Structure 1
């Protein structure tokens, strides 16, 4: 009976595994191969060039600008989004005799904060493009309205602030989802622990730092992985919002945008595939390091 069951499971899984191999693993394998060629997008016009595409990446100034910008986003976007999400989720759970009860109307606040998730990233980028408009945009209009005319500027045209303006949009569009995620994690913490902390005289900050944060650490770790992937991409926002696109002097250039331009504007699909492979390994490394760090912390706590 056991052998028959295993045979049935094998045959049941075979179609799914075949589809996964064809539509997931096969494109990866093709990308790895194309990154070793000088393919221009024309069928049969690919010559093996070995690692020359990867050596070229190391001296490509625009690609290095993209790597630098993605590295900045990798630090700022996850940290800012997780910090804001945790802060807002904690504020919605402050109060009550048990130290964890949600404030009145917390569900409504969550819906409001979650609203950007209902919009596509392209729509968000278009809307924020109007907000950042230097002549009649909402942001400069608000600054002028309160007498801060000196702070009004061309947010997406100045190299010193363009990338920060893009990162602000990414944080704004993501924080609502992680607010809801962290709120759900906090709701899953046993109520008795908060009651015990309250009886011990722990204040809101001590309760958050010593009780809430350690118990939602796994959720925060997953959030960092997903936000790191968002930060390593950033293609849609930069493509829609910035001039060029890529901003002034490559100020908002990202790897995904360099890949797209190299492939579909210049027809260098082999070189673009090398960029994609580099981005793949960067994302994979980020995920592995984040998951291993979380595992190490759990082992130390055990």
Structure 2
């Protein structure tokens, strides 16, 4: 009977495996091969360049600046998103003052979950339109500038630029050599804020599902022993959510290393030309498809391979660091 099932199972697997090899694995292999060439993407002639494209990455001022921007995003974006999502998930699931020893969520928690998750259903085009209006550099039509004007924090004739602000914050930048400056412009922090706004809802739902699987008896025992909500959060909730936090950290890290959609859609053309909001994925896109760099397709492929290697390395390190080896006993 077992031998009869093998052809049946194999028959269902052949088509998906073939499609995966043709449309996923083969393009990866092609990209890896093209990264060693000076191909322009159109010519039938594909001159071999060896490792020249990879060595040029370390001389490319824009790529190194974009890499530093990704590092800033990778450092800040996951920490803020996970922190906010954990706080709200704890309040919506355990932070209420119900009748069962204070282990219920706050009143209206189901509604709040819908509100927090709502940004997930919006397309990036809608998100770009909404936040471009929020950050608009006008005291009359920009939502944030209008608020600052009413509070008396800005002058009507000198509104904040936000998405057009290229000055670095919180430091002016680190100079490497004569041509390369590593900085974190204000526009980059605005993009991180938008990413946090859009990502908190998903991870709130993820952590809420994990908290709902924790037996309420554990919380009740902690409260009877005199633990405060803060203590129960750090001593009960966080240890039991280690797997969910590890998954969230990997997903957010991959998103931070990508960050293409927001960096491409939100900043103005002038800011993009100044590379203040540049990340590795956007510079790879411009290198491959911009009109003035059509001979750099092989170089863009090298950027893609480098980005994939960075993402793979981060994922391996993160899974290694956050892997839960010891079972928690109560």
Using the TM superposition, name which of 252-261 and 6-15 deviates more: 6-15
CA deviation after TM superposition for structure 1 residue 190, in Å: 0.8
1:234 corresponding residue in structure 2:
259
Matched residues in 2 for 1:248 and 1:173: separation? Answer: 26
Matched residues in 2 for 1:300 and 1:248: separation? Answer: 52
CA deviation after TM superposition for structure 1 residue 233, in Å: 1.4
Structure 2: gaps of 5 or more residues = 169-185
> What is the aligned counterpart of 1:128 among 122, 128, 131?
131
CA deviation after TM superposition for structure 1 residue 236, in Å: 1.4
- What SS is found at the alignment partner of 1:276? helix
Matched residues in 2 for 1:244 and 1:36: separation? Answer: 31
* CA separation of 1:199 and 1:301: change in aligned 2, threshold 3 A: closer
Is residue 98 of structure 1 aligned with residue 101 of structure 2?
yes
- What SS is found at the alignment partner of 1:153? coil
CA deviation after TM superposition for structure 1 residue 246, in Å: 5.2
Structure 1: gaps of 5 or more residues = none
CA deviation after TM superposition for structure 1 residue 301, in Å: 5.6
Is residue 15 of structure 1 aligned with residue 15 of structure 2?
yes
1:158 corresponding residue in structure 2:
165
CA deviation after TM superposition for structure 1 residue 68, in Å: 0.3
* CA separation of 1:207 and 1:248: change in aligned 2, threshold 3 A: farther
Matched residues in 1 for 2:226 and 2:129: separation? Answer: 49
Using the TM superposition, name which of 245-254 and 110-119 deviates more: 245-254
Contact 2:119 2:201 in 1 (8 A): yes
CA RMSD of aligned residues (A): 1.8
For residues 97-147 of structure 1, what are the alpha-carbon distances to aligned partners after superposition, in whole Å with 9 as ceiling and x for unaligned?
334211111010111111111101232122111111111210010111122
Is residue 209 of structure 1 aligned with residue 246 of structure 2?
no
Is residue 280 of structure 1 aligned with residue 308 of structure 2?
yes
Count residues in correspondence. 301
Matched residues in 2 for 1:43 and 1:274: separation? Answer: 18
Q: How do 1:35-54 and structure 2 match up within 5 A?
A: 35-54=35-54
Is residue 221 of structure 1 aligned with residue 246 of structure 2?
yes
Q: TM-score, normalised by structure 1?
A: 0.94
Using the TM superposition, name which of 248-257 and 263-272 deviates more: 248-257
Matched residues in 2 for 1:293 and 1:11: separation? Answer: 40
For residues 25-64 of structure 1, what are the alpha-carbon distances to aligned partners after superposition, in whole Å with 9 as ceiling and x for unaligned?
0110011001111110114121111111000001000000
Q: TM-score, normalised by structure 2?
A: 0.87
2:282 corresponding residue in structure 1:
257
Matched residues in 2 for 1:73 and 1:245: separation? Answer: 21
> What is the aligned counterpart of 1:142 among 147, 152, 156?
147
